[in-house]
Amino acid sequence: MYPQIITYLLTFIKFQEQIIRTLLTLLIGKSMFDKPKDQQPVNKPYRKLQVDDLPIIEIPEKLNYRNLLTEYQEKHGKSLKPVRRHKNAKVSVPKGMKCPKCGAPSDYLYANNGDKGQYQCKVCSCLFSDKNRFSKEAILKCPHCSKTLDKIKERKDFDVFKCKNDDCPYYQKKLNGMSSKEKKQFKKDPQSFKLRYIFRQFHIDFQPLSKNSPELPVVDLSRIYASPHTLGLILTYHVNYGLSARRTAALMQDVHGVAISHQTILNYENSVALLLKPYVDHYPYELSDQFCGDETYIRVNGKWHYLFFFFDAVKKIVLSYRVSPNRDTASAIQAINDVLLKMEEIPENLTFVVDGNQSIF
């Protein structure tokens, strides 16, 4: 009898111990029972940036909406009218949008299903959406094996296409080129290797990336009451010394006896900034071929914004400083474009150094 009870109690104690351990682990964390390991920083090298060949772009048979409209006229004896829209229709078709198949302008496009971004062309009946309108315009094929690429990811600004062909020479070459150590690593973490041909198709039209039209200042500086000297003083205090507009106004009054409102100071600042920007952008900098870039956050009017900046790593000159409310690819591309615009000729050994954040850079 006794040995049985003792065995039972021992088992029960073990069980209780297990519960206590579990509770403690939950309470304090795993480190309680683990032996402390050396906290060595992990050296995980970034995957090297590779520039791949462009895919083969095949343009499917294109129709011309003008021909289609004439055909319609001949067949029906009347012309095909543009889409009639309800006055208070919630969804509108963007003005510049065209049918990807026949090129019909937005007047002939239905906004098909509410705000989901689907459209239909009245002329050729082609269905398309915001997302696939570019792919309707072209079929993408792998430059190495000529097989059609598969779309594997859709991001906000771009789609990712991949060649999934196992016989693709690109894939075969990469696969056979791996050392046995790399093959082991590949089995554990396939994400860290790029073996297949990949292409990113951006939805961003390049147009907005070209030089933006000059915005005109609120205040015409040639007509202001302040003398150039006073304007210089105001800008020195406000910009160079970073005093707020209100403090600058107070300083102008107290020290120089000039009555000026803080709003006027802000207007001056805005006008000067707009006038100076082209000079800063197009100054004939002598640049090296080494550039660094990163992103950071700044507050604009109390809201966090993203600042994408690039600078010449050798000459220490800031070359782009794009600010965007979103952490988007377009701003990163614009930031790089700002740098490229500053070069008369793009150097052969051009080096851009950025961190490993692939979604952005």
Residues at the interface with Zn ion (CB under 5 A): 99, 101-102, 104, 121, 123-124, 126, 142, 144-145, 163, 165, 168, 197
Chain centroid to Cα 136, Å, comes to 23
Structure-token pair, residue 189: 């973490």
Q: Which is nearer to Zn ion, 50 or 222 (CB)?
A: 50
Q: Which is nearer to Zn ion, 133 or 322 (CB)?
A: 133
If one counts every other C-beta atom within 10 angstroms of the C-beta of residue 60, the result is 11
Rounded least distance, CB 87 to Zn ion, Å: 25
Are the beta carbons of 252 and 258 closer than 8 angstroms?
yes
Q: How far is CA 155 from CA 31, 198, 202, 204, 236, in A?
A: 39, 14, 9, 12, 44
Q: Cα–Cα distance between 252 and 259 in angstroms, integer?
A: 7
Contacts by 64-72, CB closer than 8 A, 24 or more apart: 64/102, 64/103, 65/99, 65/102, 65/103, 65/104, 65/105, 65/108, 65/121, 65/123, 65/124, 68/102, 68/104, 68/123, 68/124, 69/123, 72/123
Q: Which is nearer to Zn ion, 197 or 268 (CB)?
A: 197
Q: Which is nearer to Zn ion, 75 or 316 (CB)?
A: 75
Q: Cα–Cα distance between 308 and 182 in angstroms, integer?
A: 35
Q: Which is nearer to Zn ion, 69 or 343 (CB)?
A: 69
Q: Which is nearer to Zn ion, 63 or 274 (CB)?
A: 63
Among 135, 173, 167, 174, CA closest to 55: 135
